[in-house]
Amino acid sequence: MRLREKNAAFSRIISGHEKRTTIDKDFFNWLKECHEQCDKQVRFGGFTKAVTRPDLPKNKQNPWAEFSQIEWDGKLFKKGQLVRIQKTVPVLYGAIRRFLLHGEHEGDVFATGGDIEVQQEPKCLYDDIRIVSLAKLDRTARPELVKRYIEDEEAKLPDKIVVTWPEGDAVFNNEKRPAGKTIGDIKAEIANRRGEYISKLPGSSSRKLLVELKIVWHSPTGSEMIVSHISQYGKNWAYWFKKMENIKNLGPHTLILQTVLNESGNKVFAGKELPSKVVKFTVTEAAPDKFTVGLLEGPFRVGAPFQIPLEFQDEFSHPTKPSNKLKPLLEAPGLELSHDGTQVKGNSLVIQGIVAKGSVPTSTGKNFNLVVTVPGLAEKSQSLKIRLLPGPPHSIDVSPEDGVQVENGNTVRFEIKILDVAGNLSVQSNKLNAVCKFTGAAGLPSYSVECSATGQGTLTGDPIKVKKITKEQVITAIIELQGHKDVKGIERVVEVLPSTKAASMELCYHGDGTKASPIKDGQEILGTAGEHIKGLEFTIKDEAGRVLDMNNTLASKIKVNWTPKISKDTVLKGHLPDVKVPNSASDTKYCHISCTGVEFSFTVKAIPGDPVQIKCKCGSGTKVRLGEILDSHILVTLKDKYGNDVQKLYHGILKELSVSGDGLVDDEMERALGQGCSFDIKGIKFEGGSLGSRELCVKWKELTDYVRVEVIAGKPTKITIPDWNVDQPVSIYNDHKFSKPLIVQLCDESGNASSEPNVKVQLAKEPGFKLTPVPQPQKTDVQGRAYFGIMTVSGKRGVFEMQPKAFCGRTVISGPKIKVSIQPDVTKPISLVVEYDKSASYTVGETLTEFVVKVIAEDENVMTGAKPSHIAMKLWQSDGRIDTRPPTKTISSVPDSRRRGDTNGHFYFRNRKVPEISGTHNVMFVYNDTKYEVFSNLVAINVQPGPPVKLVPLQIPGTPTVSNTQKIASRSLIRTLQLELRDEFDNPAGQNVNGKVTVEVMCADTVNEVPQLAGNTRKVVLQLENGRATMQNLFIQENTPGKDGQEYFLRCVANSPSNGKWTALYDIPFLFFNDAKKQSQMATLTKERDSLVAAIKTYKSLFVTTNQLIDELKIAVHEANREKTKLREEIKRQNIPLSQLQSLTGLDSLLQQRVKERDQLLNVSRRSCGLQPAVRHQEVLGKIAHLAMVRDSDVARVLSWHMTTDMDCVITHTLRKAKEIHRDSGGKQQVMSLDTMYKKNLPDWDKPLPHIRFKPNWRPAGNPVYARTFLEFPQDPSNCKIVFGSLLGDAIICNNLDHATLYRQELVKYTHCPTILTRDGERIRSNGKFGGLLNKAPAIERLRGAVFGEPLTLKYHAVCTQIDTLQNYRVAMVKYEDANKELEEQQAALKDPEMQAKHRECQEAEEQLKDIDSRLGLGRQPNRGRQPVRPPQPSFDEDPSSAKRSRPSSGRQSDTSSIVNGVTPSRSSAPSTPTRQSARRSAMANDSPNMGGAKRARYN
C-alpha cells in the first residue's frame, strides 16, 4: 500500500501524540500484527501437560503447553506422523514428537503458530531431535513421498557381504573336508541395498567399516575360536584374508565374516546388526598313515584261535577307517602261524582266526616275539611280545599199557597224561577231570582225578568188589575226559581174583536145651519178655566157601552190638554172649555181628508173660448225665509185670470180673470180652448224689483198678436268669438301656446248670413296649447260656412283662417272667411350650412381645434342670413354606438373665427388636444340649411397615436434559415415573394413604429465569392412591425462558389430608439448554455421568466394606491371640510341656496321650457298689449306697458294714414318691423322704471334734476324724449331707481299738462320746459296748456288694482338666490360625491385580466425572439446587447422587399414555443415545443398590 500523492504526509496518533511515519511500513506491521493476534488458524488439541523448555533462554523457558496434535487448514497433524520441514539446510524429514505452544493452556486452543519437535529420519543415520517453528512445516508434502525419501536414505546402509575365493580352495556350506586341507585366500566386499560396494557408513558421521574373520571349532566340550583376524579396506583388494592350512581339529566348524565399526568393533548400528557371512563345514579324518596294535584278548594257547586288532590313524593321529585292500603279514620265530583273514570294524582292521603251534615246556607258558607288517603305510611294522600257554586237551596217555591183575577187594592204579595238539601237557584254569569206569560186573566203583593244574595224575579209588565170585573174572576199565567228547577214550583189561578174607557167617542157637536152631540173616526170634536167649554159635567162611580158622587176630575183629565187651576165649570156641529179650512186647531188639567186612543181623521180639496187674480205660468221653447211660465203654486189660497186655484168656474169666461205685445202677451194666483179649464194660448209669467226679472200682481176682467219671447235669427242664431279681420289677427310664446284659441259663430238674449247647431260646414280651435291638432267637453256648446283650427299653409309662422260652426238640421250657417298670425320664425333653401375647401387633423397628418358653420332660412336667445356654430363639423371614426346623441363616438369641420373680424352669425373651423388613416372619425356639434337640411350634408374626417418611421413585431416573426448541423429544423431562411412599426402613408404607403429589420446577435463589412446564405453568398435581403416584409425559413449554446450561430440579411434594400436617418430597435435577445440538451433547454426557456416579459409589462401597472387614479381622486375630495366650499360661501352670504345642500335629498327639491316660485311669479296677440303682426320677435322690463314695478302703469297709441296714434304702424328696415306691415293691423296699426328716438336730458338718472344746491342746493318738469327712458326694451334696447327718451322726474314725478306747475314756470325762469306728473293723457303740461278732466288721467280700464305691483318683481329675484345657487351646489355636489366614487372604486381596485395577478404574472414573462436570458446567455452579429443602421429618436416607438411574426401556415408554400436563402433544420417537463405558463400570452401575430398594436384614 502507498499514498497516491507523494507529497502527502502520513502520520499516526499514538498515545495522543502525532507521529510521522510511512504508510507502507505501518500497513505491513499492522497486517502482521493481525495475522499474529487475530487470524488464529491453527487448532492445538490433545493437551498432555505443561512443560519447561531448557533449550531456550531463561526468560522464555516458561510457560509452555505440550499438545499431541494440531489442525491447520483442515489438515490434522498427529504425534508420530512423518512430515517435511522446509526452510532448513538441509531439508528435514522426520516424525512428529510433540507440539509446543507458549502460554498457560488447558484443553483445545486456537493459535496463530507455535513450535514443532521432530525426530529426524531415518533414525539410523540421523539420531537427532530438532525443534523448529511451526511455520516451517510443509503442509503440502505427501506422506508417501516423505516415506519414500526415508527408505531411499536407508538403502545406503550396508546390507550384505560378497565373498570370493581368488586362489581357489573355496569352503562351501555344509562341506566335509579332510583334516589339513587348505582354506584358500578370501576376498570380502560390503554391499548396500542398491548393490553398491561401500567401505564406510553414509551420512554425516562417515564411520569406516571393517571385516572380521573368525573360525570357531565346535568341540564336544564347547565352542572354541581357533582363528580371528580383522581386515582393513584396501582400494585394490577390498577386504583380503590369506589362506590357512592349520585346520586339523575334527568336528563341525563355522567360518564367520562379520562387518564391524572401526572405532568400537561394534556389530550393531542403529539397533540393527551389521551384515555377516556364515559358512558351516565339518573337518573329517584323512587317509590311513600308521597303525597300532589294539587290546589283545588273552590268554593265548597252542592250537586255540585268537585275533589281533590293528587301529589306524592319519598323519595327525586321528583315528581313521582302514581299507579292505590292506593285507597284514605275521611272523614269529619258533611258531607255526596261520590265520583266517581280516575284517574291518570301525577304525580297526581285525586279523581273525590266528592259530599258533609250537613247543611249550611248562604250564606257565613261553614268550614269543610277533611282528605284524602292513605294506603300503608310512609306518608299516609293529612288534609285540605274546606269551603262549599249553593248548586244550587233544589226547590221553595211560600207563600201564598191558592187562592188570587185582584181588577182589583191592584197588587199581593208572597213571595218565593229558596232551594238546603239539604234545605239550594240557593245563586249564577250568576243571579237567579224567574218569575211569569199570564194566563187566555189577557194583563196580568209578575213579576220577583232576588234572587242570599239572595236566597229569593218578587214577585210583575204592576197592574192586565183585559179588559172589568163586573164580577169576575179567572186567574192562574205560578212561575218558569229562566234557571233552572230541578227545578219544582209552580202554584197559583188569583180571579180578577171589579174596581169601572172611566173606560170610553162619549162626545158630540152643533154646531150652533142644538141638541147635539155625538163624538166618535178618530173622526174627521170639522170647519171653525180660528173659535171655542162650547158646549162640557161629562160623566164618571166605569167598570160596572155605571155613576160616579162628585165631586171635580174627577173634579180636568180631564185634556185637548187645554187649560192649566179649570174652576172647568164648569167641575162640565159636560162641557168642547171651541176648536179653526186651521188657515190652511192642519193642524189638536189633542184634548185629561184624567181622572184617562180614556183617550178620537178627531181631529179638518179646512175648507177654503171666498177668500180674489190671488196667482200666474209659472210651471217647468220661462225662455222663445224671440218670443217663455213659456213651463210652470201659476197656479192661490184663498185663504182665512189665505192662504188656496178656494175649491169652481162658474160658469163664468174666465171672471173676466185678465193678462197684457210688450211685452205680448194677442192673443196667453189661460185661463182655472185647477185642485183643480185653474186657468191655458198658451201661454205666448213676442215680442221685451230687454232680462232679466219681470213681468206679474194677476188680479181677486180687487185682483192682479205678476209673474216674464226670457226672454232669441232666436234661434241661428249667430256665434261670442269673444276676436278675425276678421277684421285683426292673425300673428303667424310657429309651434307656438295662444296667446289665440279659443272660438265660438252662437247668435240669434238680436246678443244676445245664451245659446243653445249641438250644434255641426266644424272648417273648408284651406288645406295650419295645426292645432295641429287637431280641432275635439265640442258641445256647457250651455252658448252656443264651446271651441277649444289653437292650434299650422304650414305651409308655407302666409295668410290662417279658419271658424267655427254650425249645429242646419238641419240648418248650418257659422261664420266669421279668417285670419291667418303665419310668419317664425327667432329664429328657420332649416338647417346648411357648407362651406369648397372640393378639399383639408388630411394627418395624419396635419391640416384640415377651416370649416365655418351658421345656417339658417325659413326665409332662417342666424340666427345671434345663440350662439357658441350651435354648435359643430363631427368627427369619418367611418364604411361604411351613418349616419344621429353622433354616441355616437366622437371627439367633439366647434367653434373658433371670430376674427376681421369674418362675424356675421358665425362660424369658424380652425386648427383642422387630425386624426392619415388613412382611411375615417366623419365630421358632430350639432346645439343644448335644444329646437331645427339640423344636417348638412355628410362631408366625406379621410385621407392619412404619409411618411414611419419604417419597422415592420405583425406577431411579437419570439427569434429564432439555432445550426450549420446537421438538417435543428435546423438551421431554419425564416419560414415565412411579413414586412411592416409604417408611424409615424403606418398606412400602402407603397402604390406604391417598392424597396429592405436587410437582414444581425449582432452582437456586440466584437464578431468576425458571423454565415453565407445558401449559405455561410451574406446577403439576398428581393423584396419590395407596401410597403411589404416576408421573407421565412431563415436558417443558416451547420457547420457555431459562438460563443456558443451568441445573434446575423438579420438586415432588406428597400430601395427604388424612394424615394431617405430613409431607414427603423428592427432587429430580435436570439441565436446561437453549441450543438443541448442545443439549444432545450434554444429554450424552449426563447419561455417562450418571453411570460414572453409580460406578464410583459401588467402588467406594466395596472399598469401605473391605476395609471394615479387615479391621474386624484384625480385632478377631487380636482376641483369638489373647485367648490363646491366656490358655497357654493356664497350660504352663498345669506343668504341660510347651514343646508339643507348636503345631496342631504335636497338640493332637499330646491330646491322644492324655485321653489314653485318662481311659487307662478310668478303666483301673475300683471298688464299686453292687446294689441295683434306684429308679431315676426327679423326686428320687437315690439309694444311700450310691449317694456317697469313700476313697480309703479300710474306712469304706467299716462304714459300709456300720450302715449295712441302711445301704439299700431309697431316699426321696417327697413322702408321696416314697409311698409310691413302697407300694410298687410290695412293701419290700426301704424308703425315706427328705420332707419327713427332723432337721433341727442335724450335726454341724464342719464343727470340730468334741475333745477340742474341753481339751484344746490335747493331741489324741489314733488320728480321730469324723466319719462324714471321708464321704464324697457326686451330686446334690446339700441333700446328701442331710441324709448322712441324720443316719451317721457324729461317728468318729480311729486307727485301732486301743486308740478308740483311750479316746472314749478321756472324752466321757467331759461330754457324751459318739460311736467310734476303727480302720481295722472294730466298733465301740455310743453306750461304750464293743467286742463280739456284732461289733466286728467282716471282710468286704462278705458284704455282698453293699459297699460304698471308690471315687476316681485325683490324677484322673487332673488329667481331665488338662484335656479340657488342651481342647480349648486347640480350638483357640485353630480359631487364631483361621482368623490370621483369613486376614492374610484379605490383605493379599488388596494387593491383588484385580483389586488394584478396581482402584485405578475408580480413580479414572472420578477423573472422568470431574472432566464431565467441568464440561457440563457443574463445577462452576456453586449452588446447583440438588439438595432438597428438608421438611420437619426426614425424607431421604441416601446421598442425592445415588438417585440417578437409567431411564425406563423404550418398550415401557410405548405403553404409557401421551398426556403432557393435561395436554395431548404430538408423539416423538427420538431414541435415547446410549452411554459408552467399560464393561466393568456398566455392570457395576447396573448392580448398584437401588435407592428405593428395601434394606435386607443380615441373618446369622
Chain segment 1167-1196, per-residue pLDDT in tens: 888 888 888 788 899 999 999 999 999 999
Q: Quickly state the pLDDT bin for 1425 (edges 50, 70, 90).
A: very low
Peptide bond into 887 cis (omega under 30): no
Angle between the 1354-1390 and 1076-1133 helix axes, to the nearest 10 degrees?
Answer: 160
Which residues have a Cβ under 8 Å from the Cβ of 1314 and sit 6 or more positions away?
1250, 1289, 1290, 1291, 1292, 1326
Q: Among residues 1265, 1257, 1259, 1256, which one has the least CA distance to residue 1290? A: 1265
By the 8 A CB rule, do 341 and 368 touch?
no
The pLDDT of residue 1318 is above 80: yes
pLDDT in tens, 50-67: 999 998 998 888 899 999
pLDDT score at 680? 86
Give CA torsion, residues 1435, 1437, 1441, 1445, to 10 deg.
Answer: -80
Question: CA dihedral in degrees (179, 184, 189, 190; nearest 10)?
Answer: 0
Cα–Cα distance measured from residue 1349 to residue 384, given in angstroms and rounded to the nearest whole number = 105
Cell numbers at residue 509, please? 542157637
Q: How far apart are CA 1032 and CA 799, in angstroms?
A: 81
Give the pLDDT mean for 96-101. 92
Q: Are the C-beta atoms of 440 and 375 separated by less than 8 Å? A: no
Categorize the per-residue pLDDT at 1417 as very low, low, confident or very high, splitting at 50, 70 and 90: low
Position 840 confidence tier, pLDDT thresholds 50, 70, 90 = very high
Is the Cβ–Cβ distance between 426 and 403 less than 8 Å? no
Residue 732: which H helix or E strand, with range?
Answer: strand 730-733
pLDDT value of position 407: 83
Quick one: what percent of the chain has pLDDT higher than 70? 92
Pairing outcome for strands 818-823 and 730-733: parallel
Q: How far apart are CA 588 and CA 525, in angstroms?
A: 10
Edge-to-edge strand list for the sheet holding 829-835: 829-835, 851-857, 906-909
**Beta-strand runs (E) in 374-420:** 381-389, 395-399, 404-407, 414-419
pLDDT at residue 1461 in the model: 38
- DSSP-derived letter for residue 1314 is -
Residue 281, pLDDT above cutoff 80: yes
pLDDT at 64: 92
Residue-wise pLDDT for 323-368, tens only, equals 888 888 888 888 888 888 888 888 888 988 888 888 888 888 888 8
Tens-digit pLDDT profile for residues 589-640? 999 999 887 899 999 998 888 888 888 888 778 888 877 888 888 888 888 8
Q: Which three cell numbers stand for residue 1125?
A: 495366650
pLDDT reported for residue 702: 84
| CA angle 6–12–18, rounded 5-degree value | 110
DSSP state of 563: -
CB 698 within 8 A of CB 636: yes
Q: How many CA atoms, within 13 angstroms, populate the side-chain half-sphere of residue 1458?
A: 9
Between 126-130, 560-564, 907-911, the lowest mean confidence (pLDDT) is in 126-130
Can you give the length of the chain in residues? 1500
Q: What is the mean pLDDT of the chain?
A: 84
Distance CA 670, CA 655 (A): 12
Element spanning 590, H or E: strand 588-595
| pLDDT of 907 above 60 | yes
The neighbour count for residue 1412, using CB atoms within 10 Å, is 20
Dihedral sign from CA coordinates of 912, 917, 923, 927: negative
Predicted local distance difference test score (pLDDT) of residue 988: 92
Q: Is the dihedral of CA 545, 550, 551, 555 positive or negative?
A: positive
**Coil vs helix vs strand at 1396:** helix
Identify residue 435 by its one-letter amino acid code: V
Task: Residue 628: name the closest of 716, 715, 706 by CA.
Answer: 715
For 733-764, the pLDDT digits (tens) are: 888 888 889 999 998 887 888 888 999 999 99
Cβ-count burial 127-137 (b if 16+ within 10 Å, e if not): eeebebebebb
Residues 641-655: what's their mean pLDDT? 80
Which residue matches cell numbers 502482521? 32
| pLDDT tops 70 at residue 535 | yes
Q: What is the mean pLDDT of residues 1383-1410?
A: 86
Q: Is the pLDDT of residue 853 over 90?
A: yes
pLDDT at 723: 82
**Residue 1473 reports pLDDT greater than 60:** no
**Residue pLDDT, tens place only, 210-257:** 999 999 999 999 889 988 888 888 888 888 999 988 888 889 999 999
| Grid cell of 814 as nine digits | 418257659
Q: Flag the least confident range among 789-793, 1073-1077, 1338-1342.
A: 1073-1077
Q: Phi, psi (5° rounding) for residue 756?
A: -75, 115
Q: Residue 1471 has what pLDDT? A: 33
DSSP string, 317-339: S-B-PPPTT---EEE-TT-EEE-
C-alpha cell at 687: 442215680
Q: How many CA atoms lie within 13 A of 1289 on its CB side?
A: 14
**Residue with more model confidence, 219 or 958:** 219
Number of C-beta neighbours around residue 966 at 10 A = 10
pLDDT digits (tens, 9 = 90+) for 1151-1166: 888 888 888 888 888 8
> Per-residue pLDDT for 1497 more than 70?
no
Over residues 657-714, the pLDDT tens digits come to 888 888 788 888 888 887 767 888 888 888 777 777 888 898 888 888 888 888 888 8
- CB under 8 Å to 954, separation ≥6 — which residues? 978, 979, 980, 1492
pLDDT at 15 over 50: yes
Cell of 48: 498432555
Q: Taking 80 as the threshold, does the pLDDT of residue 997 lie above it?
A: yes
**Cis peptide preceding 90, ω within 30 of 0:** yes
Planar angle of CA 881, 887, 889, nearest 5 degrees: 125
Phi and psi angles of residue 1098, each rounded to the nearest 5 degrees, phi first: -65, -45
Give the pLDDT band (50/70/90) at residue 39: low
Determine the pLDDT at residue 1478. Answer: 37
Contact 11, 26 (CB under 8 A): no
For residue 1500, the model assigns a pLDDT of 34
Sign of CA dihedral 334, 339, 343, 345: negative
Q: Rounded to an integer, what distance in angstroms lies between the CA atom of residue 1439 and that of residue 1489? A: 12
The SS3 call for residue 961 is strand
Which range among 138-147, 804-813, 901-910, 1456-1465 shows the weakest confidence by mean pLDDT?
1456-1465
Grid coordinates in use for 1010? 425458571
Residues with Cβ within 8 Å of residue 241, at least 6 apart in sequence:
185, 186, 188, 213, 229, 231
Q: Is the pLDDT of residue 1082 over 80?
A: no
Beta strands in 15-86 (DSSP E): 17-20, 42-51, 64-72, 75-78, 82-85
Mean pLDDT (whole number) for 151-160: 85
User: How far apart are alpha carbons 381 and 328 in whole angstroms?
Assistant: 9
pLDDT at 967 over 70: yes
Answer whether residue 165 shows pLDDT above 70: yes
pLDDT at 264 > cutoff 70: yes
- Using a pLDDT cut of 90, give the percent of the chain over it: 24
Cis ω on the peptide bond leading into residue 775 (within 30° of 0)? Answer: no
Q: pLDDT band at residue 37, thresholds of 50, 70 and 90?
A: low
Reply yes or no: is the peptide bond before residue 400 cis, omega within 30 of 0: yes
Q: What is the pLDDT of residue 1267?
A: 93
The yes-or-no verdict on residue 1488 having pLDDT over 90 is no
**Rounded to the nearest 5°, which phi and psi values hold at 1354?**
-65, -30
Confidence at 841, pLDDT banded by 50, 70, 90: very high
